[in-house]
A and B are shown apart, each in its own frame.
Chain A
Amino acid sequence: MNWFQRLSKTGRMEKELDAELRFHFETQVVDKIQAGLTEAEARRATRLEFGGLEQIKEDCRESRGTLWLVSIVQDLRFGARILAKSPGFSLTAIVVLALGIGVSTLAFSLYNIATLQFIPVRDPATVVRIQRRSPENITPSVPYASIAYYRDNAKSLSAVMATMSAAPMVLNQDEQRVSGTFVSSNYFGELGGSAAAGRLFDAALDDANSAPVCILSFRLWQRKFNGDASIVGKAVRLGGKPATVIGVASEAFATLGTDDPDLWLPLLQHSYFVEGSKSLTDPKFDGTILMWGRLAPGVSTSMAKQEMLSLTNQLRRLYPTEIWDREYIAVTPGAHFLSLEDGRPVLPLVGLLVLLILAIACANLGGLLMARGAGRQREIQLRFDLGARNLRIFRQLLTENLLLGLLGSIGAIPLSYCVLRLALVYSNAPSWMSAMPDWRVLLFTAAMGFVAALVFGLLPTLQLVRRKQNRSLWHQLVVCTQVGASSVLLILAGLLVRATLHTLYSDPGFDYEQVLSIDPGMSEHGFVPSSAKAYLDQLQNRLQSAPGVISVSMARNPPLVNRDVMITGISVGGRRIMIYPNWVGPQFFQTMHIPLLRGRYFRAGENNAVILSESLARKRWPTEDPIGKQWKNGKDLVVGIVGNTRAMELNNSDATEIYYPPNDDVLPDMSVLVRTAGDPNTLSPTIKSIATGIDPGLFPTLIPLTAGFRKNVSQVEQIATIVSLLGSIAIFLAVVGLLGLVSYSMSQRTKEIAIRLALGANRIEIITAVLRQFAWPVLIGLVAGVAITAGLSQILRRALYGISGLDPLSYMGAMAILIAILVLAASLPIRRAFQLDVARILHSD
C-alpha cells in the first residue's frame, strides 16, 4: 500500500490492526492454557504481558506516515466545533480579520492588475518597453530617427512599435474633443488586435503616398456613431483634415501602457494631421514618441539591452549632439499597465497604510483570543490532566487560530472584490481589467490570513499552553499597536482633509472665478507666428469690445487649465530653484488679478524683459533690488515684481514664477484669457462665435478656469476620501478592540475591585489603578504614531497642498479624537464597575 492508500483506507487498516493483535492475544492465551494454566489465569498473564494495547496500536499507526495529516484533520474538525460553539466570538474575529485583510487584498489586487498581470495582447511576455537612460538623464521617449535606426538594425527585436499621443482633436464639428494616438503600422498586428468592423492598420500604410486613415476605438464608435458599421469607409474630419475610417478596434483590444485613446492614426501620417510637424524627421524632436519592441525568440531582456547599447554607440556617430554621454537603453517588460517604476513613490506609502490597518485588525484578534483564552483555562487544564502533551495542545490551538485566519481571508475576498469592482467601473477602467481574484491575489490573501493568525495568535496561545496567568505584557503590546497604528492613520487623514480645505479656501494668488480660457489650437493647425499674431490681435480686439467683457489678455500656459506643466530652473549659490515659466500678454496680470508689487507690467510689443514672482525675486536676489537687474544671460532685464501664485500646480505653495513677453516661438501656442463681468458661462456662446468667426478652420476650446480648479481639487479630494475611509476603518477596529480589552481586564479584576470597595476604597482610585496599566502603552503608541507620521508626511508633502507635513492642527485633532475614543472605550466598562453589587460578588464563591 502506498501513502495515499494508507491515508484513504484508514478504516480497513484499523480493523486489520485490531484483528492482528487480537489473534496474537488469543494464540498466546491458548498456548498458556496448553502449558497448564486455567483460562482466567492465562488471560490475566497475557494481558499483563501485552501492556497497553492502545499504545501498541498508536505506535503502529505512527509507522504509516499519515498520522500528522489525520491529526490535522482531527484538529480542524475540533477547531471548527469550538468556533461554532461561541459564534459571537468567532463572528467578531472573522469580521475584524476580514476587514483588515480585505483592505490589503484590495491594495494588492490593484497592484496586481496594474503591474503584475499581463495586458491581454498576443504573447505578452516578449513585449518590451524601450527607454533612454543615462546617469544624468531619464526620458520615456525616443526620437523617431533613433527608433527607425534600432528597428532596422536590432537583431534581438523581432519587431519595433512606436506610439505617440496627440493633443485632443476636433472630430468633425463636435464640441467635445477626442483623444488620438499615432501608432506605427505594425501596432495592431503585433499586439494581435482584432477589428470589430472594417480592418486595422497594416504594412501597406508604410507607403508614403497612402491615403490618410484612422481607426476608431470601440468606445468612440458606440458613443458617437451608435455602433453603426457603415461608418467604415466614410470620411471624417480630424482637426479639419479629412481622413477615412478604415475600421473599429474590437472592445477587447488592449493598448500598451496607460494610453486609452478614442482613435488611432498612422504615425507616418503625423505631419499630415499636425501640419508642419517635424516629429518624424527631426532627430532633435523631443515630443513623446514611445518605443516598444518584441523580443526575438530566445532573446532575453539583458541580451536585448546589450545589443541596444552597442547600437546606441553607433547612433552617436550619426547624431553626436543628440545621444547623451554614457547613454544606455533600458529594456523592461512592456505588457503591463504600469511599470514598477511608475508607482515607486506611492507604493511604499500605500503598502504601509494597508499594513497599519492589518496590524490593528491583528491586534484586535490578539486581544480577542486572549480574552477568550481566560474562559478556556478550565478546558485546557482538563486536557492536560487527561495526559495530552504540550505540543499536541499547542498545535490544536494554533490550528484553531489558523482556521480563524482562513475564514477571515475567505471573508476578505468578496469584500475586496466588491470594492474593486466598483472602483473599476467608477474609474472607467479598460474592459480587460477584471476584479476577479487570480491565483496571486488568492495566495496573497491566504498568506495574509496565515500570518495574521500566526503572529497574533502565537503569544496568547503560548501563554494558554504554559498556563500562565499574567497577560498584562501582551495586553500592553496590543494596546500599543492599536493606538500607534490608529494614530498614524488618523493624523494622515487629518492632514489630507486639511490639505483639501486649504486648496479650496486659501487664496491661490489670483482670481479665477470669472475668467474664461480660449485655446484656439493654432499650432495643431499649422499656424506660423505671423498668422498666429494676426489671429490673436484680431480676437483680442473683438473680445475687448464685446459687452460684459472686462479685460482680455493671453498666455502660453493659462492657469489651472494648461495641458502640461512646464518647469525650468536656475542655480543660485549652488542650489537649484525650480521655476514655472509663462509667456503672457501685457494685460495678463490685470486680467488674472495678480497684484503688481514693484516696477511695471510689460508694454505692448516689448521684448527682452521679464517679470518675476516675489518668491523668485527673493530667492535670486535676497538682499538687492531686482528691478533693472539682468536675468540669466544678460539679455533680459527685470522690469517688475508680481505676487506669488499657485497657478500652475495648486499643490505647490513654494512655486516661483517667471513671466516673459510672448515671442514668435510661442505665439501659435497662446491661449486667450477673458475676464467677464458676470458668470463667464453666459457669455461663452458670444465669445465662441467671435472666436470661430475670425477663422472658421479653427475649433477653439472654451474652459472656465473654475472647471480647471474643480478638477485639480477633486484629485486631492479623492486621496483624502480614501485615506479618511481607511482612517474610519481603523477607528472602528480600534473601538471594538479597545472596548473588548478594557472590559476584559475589568472583568478579570471584578473580585479584587469588589473587595476594595467593601473595604471602603474610593471608586475613582480603583478605576485609576485598573486603567494605569494602559497609560504607558497608550503613550508609547501615540509617540510612535506621531513619529512615523512625521516621517511619512515628507513623502506626502507634495500632495499636501500647502500644508506642512507637521501641521499641528491635524496632529492635535487626531490625538484628541483618539483619546476621546480611548476614554469612551474605558468608560463603558467602568460604568459597569460602578454598578457592581459588592455583596453578591463576594458571596459568589
Chain B
Amino acid sequence: MTTPSKFDLPQGTLDLLILRVVALGPVHGYAIAQHIQMISKEALQIQQGSLYPALHRLENKGFLAAEWGPTETGREAKFYRLTAKGRTQLKTETESWERLTDVVAMILQHPLGEPS
C-alpha cells in the first residue's frame, strides 16, 4: 500500500473497469492496470492487491477466460479475454452504472436539494 489511490473506488466498480478494458481484446494483468491508469490520466492507481483477486474472481465466475501466450517482448503472460457471459455482464453493469450516476447527478444538481 505504498501509493494510495486518489479515489476510493466504490464497491464493484473495479470489476466493471476490468471488464471494460478486457473487452478491447486479450490483455494481461499488468496491461490492464496500465490501461486504467493511462485512460484515467493517473487519477486511478490500481493496486496489484486488488487487481489480481478481482481478475481471479471474474475468471472463476466465468466472465473472463484466460490463456497463456507470449507478449510482444516474448515473455509468457496470462491473457484475459471476455466470454459471452462477461459481455452480457459488462452491458448490464454499464447500464446500471449509468443509471446510478444519472440519478446521483440529478439529485445533486436539483436546486431544491441544496441546503438553504
Q: Is the CB of B53 within 8 A of A56?
A: yes
Q: Which of B6-14, B72-80, B93-101, B102-110 forms contacts with chain A?
A: B72-80
Please name all residues of chain B whose beta carbon is closer than 8 Å to the beta carbon of A533 when the two chains form the complex: none
Nearest residue (CB) in B for A65 is B60
Name the distance in Å between A679's Cβ and chain B's nearest Cβ: 89
A779 touches B (CB below 8 Å): no
Q: Given known contacts A48-B2, A49-B2, is B56 in contact with A23 (CB within 8 Å)? A: no
Q: Is the CB of A23 within 8 A of B28?
A: yes
Nearest residue (CB) in A for B31 is A27
**CB-contacts of B39-83 with A (<8 A):** 47-49, 52-53, 56-57, 60, 68, 73, 75-78
Q: Which of A14-22, A164-172, A410-418, A578-586 forms contacts with chain B?
A: A14-22
Nearest residue (CB) in A for B68 is A16
Nearest residue (CB) in B for A6 is B60
A28 touches B (CB below 8 Å): yes
Please name all residues of chain A whose beta carbon is closer than 8 Å to the beta carbon of B49 when the two chains form the complex: 50-52, 55-56, 59
Total A-B residue contacts, Cβ distance less than 8 Å: 64
A24 touches B (CB below 8 Å): yes
Please name all residues of chain B whose beta carbon is closer than 8 Å to the beta carbon of A28 when the two chains form the complex: 30
Name the distance in Å between A64's Cβ and chain B's nearest Cβ: 6
Bound together, the chains give a CA A797 to CA B56 distance in angstroms of 70
Please name all residues of chain B whose beta carbon is closer than 8 Å to the beta carbon of A50 when the two chains form the complex: 48-49
B29 touches A (CB below 8 Å): yes
B3 touches A (CB below 8 Å): yes
Name the distance in Å between A70's Cβ and chain B's nearest Cβ: 14
Q: Could you say which interface size class chain B belongs to?
A: 20 to 34
Interface string of A18-52 (1 = CB under 8 A from B): 01110110111010000000000000000011111
A817 touches B (CB below 8 Å): no
Bound together, the chains give a CA A116 to CA B105 distance in angstroms of 68
Most chain B CB inside 10 Å of its own CB: which residue of A6, A27, A30, A62? A27
Q: Is the CB of B60 within 8 A of A56?
A: no
Please name all residues of chain A whose beta carbon is closer than 8 Å to the beta carbon of B1 when the two chains form the complex: 51
Nearest residue (CB) in B for A27 is B30
Q: Is the CB of A20 within 8 A of B57?
A: no
A63 touches B (CB below 8 Å): yes
A546 touches B (CB below 8 Å): no
A597 touches B (CB below 8 Å): no
A229 touches B (CB below 8 Å): no
Bound together, the chains give a CA A814 to CA B3 distance in angstroms of 76
Please name all residues of chain A whose beta carbon is closer than 8 Å to the beta carbon of B33 when the two chains form the complex: 24
Bound together, the chains give a CA A381 to CA B35 distance in angstroms of 46
Q: Is the CB of A24 within 8 A of B29?
A: yes
Bound together, the chains give a CA A48 to CA B29 distance in angstroms of 18
Q: Given known contacts A48-B2, A65-B60, is B53 in contact with A23 (CB within 8 Å)? A: no
Q: Is the CB of A51 within 8 A of B47?
A: yes
Most chain A CB inside 10 Å of its own CB: which residue of B1, B2, B76? B2
Q: Given known contacts A51-B47, A64-B60, A65-B60, is B2 in contact with A21 (CB within 8 Å)? A: no
Q: Is the CB of B30 within 8 A of A49?
A: no
Please name all residues of chain B whose beta carbon is closer than 8 Å to the beta carbon of A27 when the two chains form the complex: 30, 75
Q: Given known contacts A23-B77, A49-B2, is B53 in contact with A63 (CB within 8 Å)? A: yes
Q: Is the CB of A60 within 8 A of B53?
A: yes
Name the distance in Å between A534's Cβ and chain B's nearest Cβ: 98
Please name all residues of chain B whose beta carbon is closer than 8 Å to the beta carbon of A60 when the two chains form the complex: 52-53, 56
Most chain B CB inside 10 Å of its own CB: which residue of A20, A56, A64? A20
Bound together, the chains give a CA A23 to CA B47 distance in angstroms of 15
Which of B2, B56, B73 is in CB contact (< 8 Å) with A63? B56
Q: Could you say which interface size class chain A belongs to?
A: 20 to 34
Name the distance in Å between B46's Cβ and chain A's nearest Cβ: 11
Q: Given known contacts A49-B48, A59-B49, A63-B53, is B60 in contact with A23 (CB within 8 Å)? A: no
Interface string of A344-380 (1 = CB under 8 A from B): 0000000000000000000000000000000000000
Bound together, the chains give a CA A60 to CA B57 distance in angstroms of 7
**CB-contacts of A61-82 with B (<8 A):** 62-65
Please name all residues of chain B whose beta carbon is closer than 8 Å to the beta carbon of A65 when the two chains form the complex: 60
Q: Is the CB of B76 within 8 A of A23?
A: yes
Q: Is the CB of B56 within 8 A of A21?
A: no
Name the distance in Å between A498's Cβ and chain B's nearest Cβ: 70
Bound together, the chains give a CA A59 to CA B47 distance in angstroms of 13
Name the distance in Å between B80's Cβ and chain A's nearest Cβ: 10
Q: Is the CB of A23 within 8 A of B48?
A: no
Bound together, the chains give a CA A56 to CA B3 distance in angstroms of 16
Q: Is the CB of A23 within 8 A of B75?
A: yes
Name the distance in Å between B54's Cβ and chain A's nearest Cβ: 8
Most chain B CB inside 10 Å of its own CB: which residue of A48, A50, A56? A56
Please name all residues of chain A whose beta carbon is closer than 8 Å to the beta carbon of B3 when the two chains form the complex: 49
Bound together, the chains give a CA A501 to CA B1 distance in angstroms of 83
Q: Given known contacts A6-B60, A51-B1, is B53 in contact with A20 (CB within 8 Å)? A: no
Bound together, the chains give a CA A6 to CA B66 distance in angstroms of 14
Please name all residues of chain A whose beta carbon is closer than 8 Å to the beta carbon of B56 when the two chains form the complex: 17, 60, 63-64
Q: Is the CB of B75 within 8 A of A63?
A: no
Please name all residues of chain A whose beta carbon is closer than 8 Å to the beta carbon of B57 when the two chains form the complex: 63
Please name all residues of chain A whose beta carbon is closer than 8 Å to the beta carbon of B76 when the two chains form the complex: 19, 23
Q: Is the CB of A16 within 8 A of B78?
A: yes
Q: Is the CB of A51 within 8 A of B2?
A: yes
Nearest residue (CB) in A for B61 is A63
Q: Is the CB of B2 within 8 A of A20?
A: no
Nearest residue (CB) in A for B54 is A63
Nearest residue (CB) in B for A1 is B60
Bound together, the chains give a CA A6 to CA B59 distance in angstroms of 11
Nearest residue (CB) in B for A53 is B48
Bound together, the chains give a CA A55 to CA B57 distance in angstroms of 15
Name the distance in Å between A61's Cβ and chain B's nearest Cβ: 8
Q: Given known contacts A49-B48, A59-B49, A59-B52, is B29 in contact with A20 (CB within 8 Å)? A: yes
Please name all residues of chain A whose beta carbon is closer than 8 Å to the beta carbon of B29 when the two chains form the complex: 20, 23-24
Name the distance in Å between B77's Cβ and chain A's nearest Cβ: 5
Which 4 A-B residue pairs are closest in the complex by CB-CB distance? A59-B53, A63-B57, A63-B56, A60-B56
Listed by A's residue number, 30 A-B pairs whose Cβ atoms lie within 8 Å are: A1-B60, A16-B78, A19-B76, A20-B28, A20-B29, A23-B30, A23-B77, A23-B78, A24-B28, A24-B52, A27-B75, A48-B2, A49-B2, A49-B48, A50-B48, A51-B1, A51-B2, A51-B47, A51-B49, A55-B49, A56-B48, A56-B52, A56-B53, A59-B52, A60-B52, A62-B53, A63-B53, A63-B57, A64-B56, A64-B60
